[in-house]
Structure 1
Amino acid sequence: MPQKPLTKILVESSPLEAMDLYRQNAPHKPEAGGIILGYRRDTHLHVTQVTIPQVDDKRHRYGFHRSAQHHQQVALKAWHASGKTMDYLGDWHTHPELHPSPSGLDLNEWKKICSQRKSPMLFMILGVRGDLWVGLGDSREITRCVASKN
């Protein structure tokens, strides 16, 4: 069986800082999320931007539903500004957990996204202390990634 090529994921600091603003580090903070934008370079992903929660998103302590319209507008603007080279890489959201991990609902939603795309998709969940769960999905499976900081 042929081995999958190794995918490296580079995440710039500004998307992480934007996500961290919505970390659920207090009981009153609802889940938040958005889409991940950046570049595909062969099998590698370069995350340069994320959308932040928009006015029509549905946010609760234990749930988040991203409304597509405003996130898509932000993504389209970024795509044009990049000379039409930036791409939708995946989704991110927060969880009110010390060690975040995807729920069954998360996995089902991500599988739907992956089934509609030919390229691998990136998924990130930010926990209450800033721990980050990172996964990569394709049409067959969603695999947790090993993260390291440089």
Structure 2
Amino acid sequence: MVELIRGFCQRGIDAPESGGVLLGYRRGAHLHVTKATTPTIHDRCSRTSFERAAEGHQAAALEHWSSSSGTGDYLGEWHTHPQVHPAPSDTDLVEWKKILAGPNPQKMVFLVVGTQTIWAGVGSAGVVRQVQLE
């Protein structure tokens, strides 16, 4: 899954931001990300922004849930930044806090993929903190 999303890093000067959702399983306090969606034709992207459309990503999440007999879940979001060592933007943090404040708040994973490294964070109770990828 990590290699899949690294394939979208913005190495070219005109490469747009890309992104998708992270799918997997909740096991107590642990989140196991096993799948990621990739950009669809419905998403809006530019060199410095990515807006995920529900179409395509939502269908993949529903298929994951259905094929896992209801145990698979939406665990978070990923997107790229045109930086060697990325960090979340203020816009990212605002959007992630909206996700965390949803109707059924749960711990979530957020990834920002740079050209050489990946920033990883876990959010809960409206706070996102950086973590190490395993």
TM interval, shorter chain, is over 0.9
Does 1:44 pair with 2:22? Answer: no
Q: Deviations over 1:7-34 (max 9, x none)?
A: xxxxxxxx11210121111112100000
Counterparts of 1:134 and 1:106 in 2: how far apart (Å)? 12
Equivalent residue runs for 1:69-88 within 5 Å: 69-88=55-74
The residue type paired with residue 107 of structure 2 is P
The residue type paired with residue 38 of structure 1 is G
Name the structure 2 match of 1:126: 113
Normalised by the length of structure 2, the TM-score is 0.95
Name the structure 2 match of 1:34: 20
Counterparts of 2:24 and 2:35 in 1: how far apart (Å)? 6
Shift of 1:118: 2.3
Aligned alpha-carbon RMSD (Å): 1.0
Aligned partner (choices 89, 94, 109) of residue 103 of structure 1: 89
Shift of 1:63: 0.4
Larger CA Rg, structure 1 vs 2: 1
The structure carrying a bigger strand percent of its residues is 2
| Count of aligned pairs | 133
Normalised by the length of structure 1, the TM-score is 0.85
Identity within the alignment, %: 42
Q: Deviations over 1:86-110 (max 9, x none)?
A: 0000000000001100000000000
Structure 1 stretch displaced more, 17-26 or 58-67: 17-26
The residue type paired with residue 130 of structure 2 is R
